[in-house]
Structure 1
Amino acid sequence: MFSILNWHKDNERKIHFYSKKGVNSYSYSSLIQSIHYLETDFKNRGIKKGDVVALMFPTSLELVATFFALWKIGATPTFLYPPIRLGKIDFWLEKTKHCLKEVDARFLILHDILKMTGNSLPIEHFSVSLKEIDSFESYPSSFSLKEIEINDKEIAFIQFSSGSTGSPRPIEIPFSALYANIKAIIKALNIKEGTSESCVSWLPLYHDMGLVGGFLCAIYAKASLTLIEPSQFLACPSLWFKAISKMKATVSVAPNFSLGLLSKRFKESDYEGVDLSSLRVLMCGAEHISNETYSKFYRFFSPYGLSELAFTPVYGLAENTLAATFSKASSVAKAKYFDEAALKVDKIAIATDHGRELFSVGFPVEGTQIEILDDCGESLGEAHVGEVAFFGSSMCANVKRDSFGRIRTGDFGLLYEGELFILGRKKEVLIINGRNIDPVEIEQVASKIPGVREGTVMAFSSTKNQKDSEEIIVFLEQAHSMSDKGLSNLKNEIKKDVLKEVALTVSEIHVFKKSSLPRTSSGKLMRVKAKELYESGKYLSLEGGPVVDFFSKYIALFKLFVFYPLKKKMAYDKRS
């Protein structure tokens, strides 16, 4: 990888950071100088080969330089997400401590703007700010990085599973798996290395899709790279397409919810002069892909030059580094209808003109094989529904495999004409009166009702009230403030439509304020966690009062910067 960074430097390439203020561009020469400076600094601080070092940064030059500096030393980076939602500090702190313990991290390195955060965590920490570096006079512009000897089995980095169905698990990615997956992605997208390809990504680097798909792939393919801080995208979604237009991006990547966010906040005035005709590939993955969301998105942005051929559904997971299956680049994405009863009862896919609509997420990437398994682990044939499993050259190092060397994903799916279709998560399937129900079916119906905030509906089953049978419970966030009568009408509409379209009775619906429901670091809804909160009674919907209000944000700040550091110090003093 260091020889590739040198190539970027020798070809006078730059790495770009796009924001509302414009573009900040840094030469690869300055990046390499920063890497060398930080490598020396980190060694002086005691970081050595084999150490696991946790990183907590916004998307920035400091993060990029720190990541590569740790590689130079032979240390293993792992990414933690910063405290984004102030109302959920306790939840964030619990998860962060869990992650630090799971990987036995020796150091935590933070961006300078987050340096006080480290005081709340039980680990040696320090901050980094390249603004503090006075000059690089000791490293001339011709300075290059020496390639280092790396054993293929050495761990490149540790990423965490999303944690959508439980606690995040550490996933160790060997260099051999990383490079195999990067090469498979480049081949699947028909990227010609060193050409005029340009990638724009707003995805966080603590997410596998952002780290591998949007960052490392672009550098390895010798493409131009533009990064956007995720919080800036969420605050102003049009930034993403403005960056694509300005940088003439050919490749970008995003989960389904971001397409819905762009459509929801669409204002014609935000896109004046935007041209998306350069975009050849828009990878979409990380969560259920909705044809309704995509169709609405395409209607809004096709007038700006967005090609229907660009939309590329994909399927990936941290346990396979990232990519498992990719749709064919530069071809129209396939959505198929399957007979609903056959899928649920007979567990067989029969194509029809109506029924359950599913997007193909493509064919296995090079070096990866996909199988569909029954409950006994036997491989099923074409068009049979079962658990998705995989094996190949991109597999992680530390996740349990079965006797055939396969990793079971926990996802239900099927292969049809060689392409993979995903139905849902095995742990999240609702079993109602003997029927296996994908919660997405209920969630999609509820999401159509005016007043429901898009992408915030969670359906799960519970025996809390009736021990002998499962009831359907729905959590959702409101799109805007509503009166008691408005909330009552909203719930009645959802119950009526779910009964009509899915033939199921919803027992309870709980409505929450914005940004109140549990999500993973990558934004996925946590149905299992929501069920835990419901059954323990540890939740507050609007009927019971606001979950996060203005005052609670100050409480959260007090906890993060005063209470927890003080508690940590008192514990230390007591031990002394």
Structure 2
Amino acid sequence: MTETVVHTLLDSARRTPDRLAFRVIERTEEEFALSCADVARLLGETAAGLSAEGLDEGDRIILVLPTSRDFLAVYLGCLHAGVVPIVTAEPTGGSSERYTENLRRLADHAGARRIIAPADLAPALPIPVTTPDDLRGAAPRLDAPRARLEALAHLQATSGSTGVPKLAMVRHGNIVANVRAIAEAIRARPDDSLVSWLPLFHDMGLIGISYALQARIPMVLADPVNFLRNPMSWLRWISRYGGTLSPAPSSAFHICARVARRRPQSDLDLSSWRVALCGAEPVHESTMREFQDTFGPFGLPETTLLPVYGLAESTLAVTISDVDRPYAVDRVDAEAVAAKGHAEPRPADDPRSVAMMCVGPELPGHRLRIVDEDGEPVPERAIGEIEVAGPSVIDGYLPGPEQETNDAFRTPDGYLRTGDLGYRLDGEVYVTGRRKDIVIIAGRNYVPDQLERFVEAVTESPRTPAVVAVGVPDPSLPTEQLHLLLDERLAEEGDRGAVTDRVTRALAEAFGIVGVSFHWIARSKLPRTTSGKIQRHLCRKMIEEQLTAPSGYV
């Protein structure tokens, strides 16, 4: 019988109590080694504390904690007790009133009875707060876990990159299915070790905990603040502890390569790192190449970097690139993509070509298809909507106000409508963008990410993302106009006219796009999700409401 991740943890605590389960690197940079027995004890204490606080199976709580021993104790204790956590980001330096209001709305939507948070946050939060210390002291409860495969494990907020975040209902069975399929796809080894600094309110960070427990391997679990203070600390943890698995978004690879160029590194050994899943945001060929060129001399294998595709509605991963070969790129005709919805191959040196990253085949035990607007499968290289089916796919979203029903979530034959666009080639998937983000100009469909990468190349941008492309209805024509929001660091004020002239000519030549509007904007003013993704719908709203001065954003 298949059991939950909690059952696997307790079995490990019985069989190998002294084996290292987690090395937690907290915000203070202090490190704490936790054995399987330690984690089981923390879990048992928290489960008893939740019961003492009147929280029972099926109750929902919001978890606002940094990456820490407390987080592990509370999250895993909730899973054991059948209490359903919603992990959310801590407040940042922005408006405290806005954070509190967003948390209140989240609590109302989720029906949360309690917030688990540090004591210093309690006065500002909208519903009763329990601290991790309040959950300690009771005798550990080590009775049979209330976790069941069919029961809710947690509610995962979607990214909200194209609209209001929703709460995905992730069940224990979804988690087990996804981490097992990931293990098969990456050819898991018993001597693997996982290194992660990813935020735990993001599925890529949170599911990593379950992967390590299910695979019975040690995990270095670091607070993301440590990465933000010193991005190279990530690679030093891999080097120091011999990490073999370590995922991250594309931007993290870009940042590390930039830092290493400014501050040459030494004493790094990345030869143990065999799987670097790269996802959560569009993956750029230039980023992968730059990272490999920078860290190859430190032993980074050419097969380590693996672009992937995933989404919260499928627990985490949907596709993973082949672990036995370097990442693959398909150069295609930009004009054919826009005009025909077809990825026609082009030579690498053709200025009209764009690079599409291969994200691999679907996970073992899962199904994926590309369909047209009528739901009919399309041939190879034809761009359509990605639909996914399998045991990792969730039932739907927690019902809430102003939300479409879950009837639109799946097709009649059980496939998840992802809203993502892509195509197949030789059995592997290439993701081209989001359906809701498509810019339609004179009847042609342009994928914003392709336009953004193209403009970054034209401007020779040293950073990414530096460009945001959105389509706004043109009141004088039955079409949209392309608006480009440019990071003001791309050029000094006196040079910006020359930059926009160069981009205008390049877009006209490569895509046939004319009448482009440019807006120079400070990076800090771009609306983003809590996980850092650009919210294009809000960028579009900014332009539609004419919040800019005539000279552009300042």
State the TM-score, normalizing by the size of structure 2. 0.89
Amino acid at match of 2:9: L
Cα distance in 2 for residues equivalent to 1:230 and 1:469: 43
Query: Within 5 A, what are the aligned runs for 1:2-81?
Result: 2-6=6-10, 7=12, 10-18=17-25, 21=29, 23-81=31-89
Cα distance in 2 for residues equivalent to 1:11 and 1:484: 61
Is 1:424 matched with 2:423?
no
Contact 1:2 1:146 in 2 (8 A): no
SS of alignment partner, residue 455 of structure 1: coil
SS of alignment partner, residue 251 of structure 1: coil
Which one of 76, 91, 94 corresponds to residue 83 of structure 1?
Answer: 91
How has the CA–CA distance of structure 1 residues 535 and 54 changed in structure 2, closer, same or farther, with 3 Å as cutoff? same
Deviation at 1:465, TM superposition (A): 5.7
SS of alignment partner, residue 515 of structure 1: helix
Q: Percent identity?
A: 27
Contact 2:335 2:511 in 1 (8 A): no
How has the CA–CA distance of structure 1 residues 121 and 248 changed in structure 2, closer, same or farther, with 3 Å as cutoff? same
Deviation at 1:258, TM superposition (A): 1.1
Cα distance in 1 for residues equivalent to 2:356 and 2:445: 17
Which one of 214, 221, 237 corresponds to residue 220 of structure 1?
Answer: 214
Cα distance in 1 for residues equivalent to 2:311 and 2:130: 31
Query: Within 5 A, what are the aligned runs for 1:383-402?
Result: 383-398=381-396, 399=406, 400-402=409-411
Cα distance in 2 for residues equivalent to 1:378 and 1:31: 49
SS of alignment partner, residue 267 of structure 2: coil
Cα distance in 1 for residues equivalent to 2:552 and 2:106: 34
Query: Within 5 A, what are the aligned runs for 1:83-482?
Result: 83-84=91-92, 86-87=93-94, 89=96, 92-112=99-119, 115-116=120-121, 118-129=122-133, 145-192=142-189, 195-212=190-207, 214-267=208-261, 269=263, 271-354=265-348, 355-398=353-396, 399=406, 400-448=409-457, 449=459, 453-463=463-473, 466=476, 468-479=478-489
Cα distance in 2 for residues equivalent to 1:269 and 1:362: 34
Deviation at 1:145, TM superposition (A): 4.1
SS of alignment partner, residue 210 of structure 2: helix
Cα distance in 1 for residues equivalent to 2:385 and 2:393: 17
1:297-321 per-residue CA deviation (whole Å, 9 max, x = no partner) reads 1111111111111111111111111
State the TM-score, normalizing by the size of structure 1. 0.85
Cα distance in 1 for residues equivalent to 2:533 and 2:366: 25
Deviation at 1:361, TM superposition (A): 0.7
How has the CA–CA distance of structure 1 residues 111 and 499 changed in structure 2, closer, same or farther, with 3 Å as cutoff? farther
Cα distance in 2 for residues equivalent to 1:452 and 1:217: 35
Cα distance in 1 for residues equivalent to 2:337 and 2:502: 27
Which consecutive residues of structure 1, in runs of 5 or more, have no partner in the other structure?
546-576
Deviation at 1:527, TM superposition (A): 0.8
Deviation at 1:377, TM superposition (A): 1.4
SS of alignment partner, residue 10 of structure 1: coil
Deviation at 1:382, TM superposition (A): 3.0
SS of alignment partner, residue 40 of structure 2: helix
Amino acid at match of 2:127: I
Cα distance in 1 for residues equivalent to 2:215 and 2:204: 16
Query: Within 5 A, what are the aligned runs for 1:539-550?
Result: 545=554
Cα distance in 2 for residues equivalent to 1:26 and 1:471: 56
Which consecutive residues of structure 2, in runs of 5 or more, have no partner in the other structure?
397-405
How has the CA–CA distance of structure 1 residues 440 and 334 changed in structure 2, closer, same or farther, with 3 Å as cutoff? same
Cα distance in 2 for residues equivalent to 1:219 and 1:150: 15
How has the CA–CA distance of structure 1 residues 53 and 87 changed in structure 2, closer, same or farther, with 3 Å as cutoff? closer
Amino acid at match of 2:88: L
How has the CA–CA distance of structure 1 residues 92 and 508 changed in structure 2, closer, same or farther, with 3 Å as cutoff? farther
Cα distance in 2 for residues equivalent to 1:191 and 1:371: 26
1:303-356 per-residue CA deviation (whole Å, 9 max, x = no partner) reads 111111111111111111111111111322211123334433333333343433
How has the CA–CA distance of structure 1 residues 95 and 374 changed in structure 2, closer, same or farther, with 3 Å as cutoff? farther
Q: Which of 300-309 and 37-46 deviates more?
A: 37-46
Q: Which of 225-234 and 294-303 deviates more?
A: 225-234
Contact 1:451 1:478 in 2 (8 A): no
Amino acid at match of 1:103: A
- Name the counterpart of 2:403: none
Deviation at 1:146, TM superposition (A): 4.3
Cα distance in 1 for residues equivalent to 2:242 and 2:255: 22
Contact 1:63 1:111 in 2 (8 A): no
Cα distance in 2 for residues equivalent to 1:100 and 1:52: 9
Contact 1:202 1:230 in 2 (8 A): yes
Deviation at 1:54, TM superposition (A): 0.9
Contact 2:388 2:416 in 1 (8 A): yes
Cα distance in 2 for residues equivalent to 1:437 and 1:543: 24
- Name the counterpart of 1:498: 507
Contact 2:192 2:243 in 1 (8 A): yes
Cα distance in 1 for residues equivalent to 2:501 and 2:347: 31
Deviation at 1:129, TM superposition (A): 4.6
How has the CA–CA distance of structure 1 residues 501 and 92 changed in structure 2, closer, same or farther, with 3 Å as cutoff? farther
Contact 2:334 2:511 in 1 (8 A): no
How has the CA–CA distance of structure 1 residues 219 and 270 changed in structure 2, closer, same or farther, with 3 Å as cutoff? farther
Q: Which of 439-448 and 182-191 deviates more?
A: 439-448
Cα distance in 2 for residues equivalent to 1:26 and 1:124: 30
- Name the counterpart of 2:400: none
Query: How many residue pairs get matched?
Result: 530
How has the CA–CA distance of structure 1 residues 349 and 372 changed in structure 2, closer, same or farther, with 3 Å as cutoff? same
Cα distance in 2 for residues equivalent to 1:22 and 1:268: 27
1:34-84 per-residue CA deviation (whole Å, 9 max, x = no partner) reads 222222222222211111111111111111110011122211111111123
SS of alignment partner, residue 51 of structure 2: helix
SS of alignment partner, residue 96 of structure 1: helix
Cα distance in 1 for residues equivalent to 2:55 and 2:250: 39
Deviation at 1:453, TM superposition (A): 4.7
Q: Which of 409-418 and 269-278 deviates more?
A: 269-278
Contact 2:46 2:73 in 1 (8 A): yes
